[in-house]
Structure 1
Amino acid sequence: MKNVGEMTVGEVAKRAGVAVSTLHFYETKGLITSWRNAGNQRRYDRSVLRRVSIIRVAQQAGLPLSEIKAHLDTLPNKAISIAEWRELSREWRDMLTERIDNLTKLRDQMDGCIGCGCLSLRDCPLRNPDDILAKEGAGPHFLPIDDQL
C-alpha cells in the first residue's frame, strides 16, 4: 500500500512530463533520490516534482547537469522553498548572463573568421596563445573571451 505523498516512478513521470528513463537517468546522476518499498518498487517523495521541474528549466537554459547537481546538492532533500529557488535562480542568472556576454563577444568576433586551419592565426581572436588550453586536457576547449589577445 502506498503512503500519502509517495509516488511511483510512472506517476512522477506523468506529472513531470518526462519519460521514466529520464527519472532513472537523473537518479543515477544523483539529481533526485528514491527508495524501494517492501515489494522492491521504486517510490519518490512528492517533493521530487519540484526538483525535476527545476532540473528541466535549468537544462533548457543550457546549464550542464554537473552545474545543476552542484547547486541542488547544497539544498536538503526536501521540497525546495521559494527562498531557496530565488537563491538558485540568482546564481544561475549570473552564470547565464556571463554565458550570454561571452557568446555575444564570440559572435561579434567571428565575422573575420575564415575557418580553422588557421589562415589568420596572427589576427584570430579565437586562437590559443602559448597552448594555454593544454592544461584542460585532450579535446576541444574554448578560451574565455576575456583571456584572448
Structure 2
Amino acid sequence: MTKLADHLTIGQVAERSGVPHTALRFYEDRGLIHAERSAGNQRRFPRSVLRRIAFIRAAQRVGLSLEQIGEALATLPHDHAPTKADWARLSRTWRAELDARIDALQRLRDQLTGCVGCGCLSLRTCALNNPDDRIARYGPGAPVLKPSAEGGL
C-alpha cells in the first residue's frame, strides 16, 4: 500500500474536480477511478485521479458512454500517473469516433436549420420525412442523421 498522507480525501477530490461525492462513488463502483482505504476505511485518492475525472467528464460531454470511457481508462497505468504519451495514445483511439460524431452533429444542425427555418415542417420537402417507412431498412433510430459510415443516407 502506498503512503496515504499525500492522497486526497473524497471531499478534496469533489471540491477540486467539481464532481459531487455521489458521482465519485459511482465512478469508483464502475471501476473508472480507484481509491485506497485508510486505516479508518476512508477513501484516499491519488492526485492523478483529478486528470482521470477531467477526462471522464470531457468524454461524457461529447457523448461517449461510460463503457467506452472505462475501456479507454483500462489501457492507462494504475500504479502511477499516466504520461503524456499514454494520454496521446488513448486520444488517438477515439479520433475516428469523434470525427463521426462531429459530422453527424453538423449534418443535424444543417438539416434542422433548413426545416425549422422555413417554419412549415413540410412533409413534401422535409429530409426527415419517411413515407411508407422506407427508411426502416437502414436500422432503428434516426438513420438519416447517422454518420454515413453507419448507414445514414
User: Which band: TM-score by shorter chain?
Assistant: 0.7 to 0.9
- Counterpart amino acid of residue 8 in structure 2: M
TM-score normalized with structure 2 length = 0.71
Change (3 A) 1:126 1:31: farther
Q: For the residues of structure 2 that align with 1:148 and 1:21, how far apart are their CA atoms?
A: 38
Report the identity percentage: 43
| 1:97 matched residue in structure 2 | 99
Measured against aligned partners, the alpha-carbon deviations of 1:28-78 in whole angstroms (never above 9, x if no partner) come to 222111132221212222221221121122223332322211111122213
Deviates more, 1:46-55 or 1:103-112: 103-112
Whole-Å Cα distance in 2 between the matches of residues 14 and 106 of structure 1?
A: 37
Deviations 1:103-143 (A, max 9, x none): 2223333435876xxx55x9745756344425xxxxxx232
Hey, what does 2:152 align to over in structure 1? 148
Which residue of 1 is the match for residue 48 of structure 2? Answer: 47
Match of 1:108 in 2: 110
Matches of 1:67 and 1:104 in 2, distance apart? 23
Cross-structure match for 1:133: 139
- Paired AA for residue 73 in structure 1: A
Say which structure is richer in helix. Answer: 2
Cα 1:45/1:126, change in 2 over 3 Å: farther
Count of aligned positions: 139
TM-score by length of 1: 0.73
- Counting only pairs closer than 5 Å after superposition, residues 62-101 of structure 1 correspond to structure 2 as 62-77=63-78, 78-101=80-103
Residues 100, 147 of structure 2: 8 Å contact kept: no
Unmatched 5+ residue regions in structure 1?
135-140
Counterparts of 1:60 and 1:145 in 2: how far apart (Å)? 19
Cα pair 1:34 1:43 within 8 Å, conserved: yes
Counterpart Cα distance in 2 of 1:145 and 1:60: 19
* CA distance in 1 between partners of 2:51 and 2:32 (Å): 12
2:14 aligned residue: 13
CA RMSD after TM alignment? 2.8
Evaluate the alpha carbon distance shift between residue 90 and residue 126 of structure 1 in structure 2; reply closer, same or farther with a 3 A threshold. Answer: farther
Q: In structure 2, do the counterparts of structure 1 residues 79 and 129 end up closer, same or farther at CA, with 3 Å as the change threshold?
A: same
Q: Identify if the C-alpha distance between structure 1 residues 52 and 123 changes in structure 2 by more than 3 Å, giving closer, same or farther.
A: closer
